[in-house]
């Protein structure tokens, strides 16, 4: 670990102090943030040799790609309000020998993010395990901050969820109950306080293309999915941003936008390594995926100007 060089702020006590709620509870005009997913240090090597359960003993490519993302984000003007990473920070599951080194190297890269751009971390299955335990969750929280929390930016409420509780909570039933109780309370607050928008971040997509699609490795089980979709929709949640699929995808449930963002690291489809730019205006949440190359060479200034100040 590298305690002495860790400079980024972590969420604690279910809040994220990079943003003060008393200053951020009112709408102040359009803004944008960057959403990335699955830097997953170690997967590219594992995938290459066809051993995905293996921790991946090399992650040079992912270091370079994440550095590229950080460099591109640091160059953006105006600055994004924050950079959220929607899980699978590293590939090694808890207990795999490479995990600590992979996490150390990821932290070293992320520390180069401009200090005015807070980093928001979301837990993925590779971070806490497919069936997380109190120990794996505790270890994640020590490293990256709370596994679920809320924060406000300019009148918009953001909820970071731990979607492993939606996948397999058999080894952490009590923690899941706490999470679900907290989530219900947060959604009630969002509804009551008439926030401009409510936006959710989680690792596993509720669905990939269609709310009624069959269960598969990459989505949330159908009955629970319907329950969550309806609960989010009723509370006025406008968008859920996720990763996990290593491809871009998504669809609508009523007026809720389910957004699935491809990986900074290993691609499992035809997308380029990239991140998503998300513009929040008074009426809408508009987003577009940019490859790291596009972001680094072309920039997005003109697109941002057009989106944030529509004529
Ligand atoms: Fe992943």
Nearest to 270 by CA among 242, 246, 288: 246
Q: Is residue 50 part of a domain?
A: yes
Please state the rounded mean pLDDT for residues 189-217. 95
Residue 12 CA to ligand 1 centre (angstroms): 24
Note the pLDDT of residue 189.
92
Please state the rounded mean pLDDT for residues 145-150. 98
Residue 185 CA to ligand 1 centre (angstroms): 29
**Residue 11 structural domain:** 3-306
Q: Is residue 174 part of a domain?
A: yes
Q: Write out the E strands in the chain.
A: 31-36, 83-86, 119-122, 149-153, 156-160, 197-201, 237-242, 249-253, 256-260, 274-280, 285-291
The yes-or-no verdict on residue 1 having pLDDT over 50 is: no
The yes-or-no verdict on residue 65 having pLDDT over 50 is: yes
Note the pLDDT of residue 181.
98
Q: Is residue 161 part of a domain?
A: yes
For residue 12, give the DSSP letter: B
Token representation of residue 225: 């999915």
Rounded CA gap, 299 and 100, in Å? 34
**pLDDT per residue over 83-122, tens digit each?**
999 999 999 999 999 999 999 999 999 999 999 999 999 9
Q: What is the CATH number of the domain that holds 152?
A: 3.60.21.10
Rounded CA gap, 238 and 281, in Å? 12
Q: Are strands 256-260 and 249-253 parallel, antiparallel or unpaired?
A: antiparallel
The yes-or-no verdict on residue 3 having pLDDT over 60 is: no
Nearest to 250 by CA among 296, 300, 285, 281: 285
**pLDDT per residue over 5-22, tens digit each?**
456 899 999 999 999 988
Mapped onto helix, strand or coil, the DSSP state of residue 299 is coil
Q: Check if the beta carbon of residue 268 is closer than 8 Å to that of residue 44.
A: no
Note the pLDDT of residue 194.
79
For residue 22, give the DSSP letter: H
Residue 97 CA to ligand 1 centre (angstroms): 18
Residue 284 CA to ligand 1 centre (angstroms): 28
For residue 255, give the DSSP letter: T
Q: Is residue 24 part of a domain?
A: yes
**pLDDT per residue over 219-271, tens digit each?**
999 999 999 999 999 999 999 999 999 999 999 999 999 999 999 999 999 99
Enclosing H/E stretch for 103: helix 99-110
Neighbours of ion ligand 1 (CB under 5 A): 38, 40, 88
Nearest to 66 by CA among 118, 32, 103: 103
Residue 157 CA to ligand 1 centre (angstroms): 26
**pLDDT per residue over 282-292, tens digit each?**
999 999 999 99
Please state the rounded mean pLDDT for residues 117-132. 98
Q: Is residue 311 part of a domain?
A: no
The yes-or-no verdict on residue 207 having pLDDT over 80 is: yes
Number of domains observed in the structure of the chain: 1
Please state the rounded mean pLDDT for residues 188-193. 89
Rounded CA gap, 127 and 93, in Å? 6
Q: Is residue 188 part of a domain?
A: yes
């Amino acid at each position: 670990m590298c305690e002495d060089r860790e400079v980024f702020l972590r969420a604690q006590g279910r809040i994220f102090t990079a943003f003060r709620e008393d200053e951020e509870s009112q709408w102040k005009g359009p803004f944008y943030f960057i959403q990335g997913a699955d830097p997953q240090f170690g997967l590219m090597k594992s995938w290459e040799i066809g051993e995905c359960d293996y921790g991946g003993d090399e992650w040079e490519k992912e270091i370079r790609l994440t550095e590229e993302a950080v460099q591109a984000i640091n160059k953006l003007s105006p600055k994004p309000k924050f950079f959220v990473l929607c899980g699978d920070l590293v590939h090694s599951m808890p207990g795999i020998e490479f995990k600590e080194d992979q996490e150390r190297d990821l932290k070293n890269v992320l520390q180069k993010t401009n200090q005015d751009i807070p980093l928001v971390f979301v837990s993925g299955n590779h971070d806490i395990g497919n069936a997380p335990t109190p120990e794996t969750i505790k270890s994640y929280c020590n490293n990256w901050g709370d596994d679920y929390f809320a924060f406000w930016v300019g009148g918009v409420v953001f909820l970071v969820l731990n979607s492993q509780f939606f996948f397999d909570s058999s080894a952490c039933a009590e923690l899941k109950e706490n999470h679900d109780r907290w989530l219900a309370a947060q959604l009630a607050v969002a509804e009551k306080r008439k926030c401009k928008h409510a936006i959710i971040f989680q690792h596993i997509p509720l669905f990939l293309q269609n709310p009624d699609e069959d269960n598969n490795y990459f989505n949330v089980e159908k009955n629970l999915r319907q329950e969550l979709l309806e609960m989010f929709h009723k509370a006025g949640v406008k968008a859920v941003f996720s990763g996990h699929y290593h491809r871009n995808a998504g669809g609508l449930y009523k007026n809720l936008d389910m957004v699935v963002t491809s990986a900074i690291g290993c691609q499992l489809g035809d997308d380029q390594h990239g991140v998503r730019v998300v513009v929040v205006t008074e009426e809408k949440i508009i987003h577009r995926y940019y490859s790291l190359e596009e972001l680094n060479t072309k920039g997005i200034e003109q697109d941002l100007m057009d989106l944030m100040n529509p004529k």
